[in-house]
């Protein structure tokens, strides 16, 4: 059984190469980026077609983060690693006119 996917190994290696270099860096690991087509295309399509937010996450929850928020990492975080994830607010709690969602 493979413990890690090839892409995960490459990501791990890239982080370590940066750590070994003299390049000041912040490692940011977003769970998913808001600009991902899952949110921009599938979400819009499901709301338009079914008047409900339906995404392929099953009962899982996610907390997307915008690329602009990731790019504003402050200087004081240099040398640290940040896992950007956490409890996701319900999509309908962010809107004035709630959209039903399906788990």
Helix (H) or strand (E) holding 28: strand 27-30
Q: Which residue has the higher pLDDT, 92 or 52?
A: 52
Burial class from Cβ neighbours inside 10 Å (0-12, 13-18, 19+) for residue 12 reads: exposed
Provide the pLDDT for residue 65: 78
Provide the pLDDT for residue 92: 46
Q: How much is the average pLDDT of 14-29?
A: 89
Provide the pLDDT for residue 6: 83
Provide the pLDDT for residue 20: 93
Provide the pLDDT for residue 16: 92
């Amino acid at each position: 059984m493979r413990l890690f996917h090839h892409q995960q190994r490459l990501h791990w290696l890239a982080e370590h190469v940066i750590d070994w270099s003299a390049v000041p860096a912040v490692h940011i690991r977003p769970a998913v980026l808001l600009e991902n087509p899952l949110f921009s295309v599938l979400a819009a399509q499901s709301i338009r077609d079914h008047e409900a937010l339906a995404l392929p996450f099953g009962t899982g929850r996610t907390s997307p983060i915008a690329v602009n928020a990731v790019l504003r990492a402050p200087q004081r975080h240099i040398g640290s690693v940040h896992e950007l994830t956490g409890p996701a607010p319900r999509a309908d709690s962010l809107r004035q006119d709630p959209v039903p969602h399906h788990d």
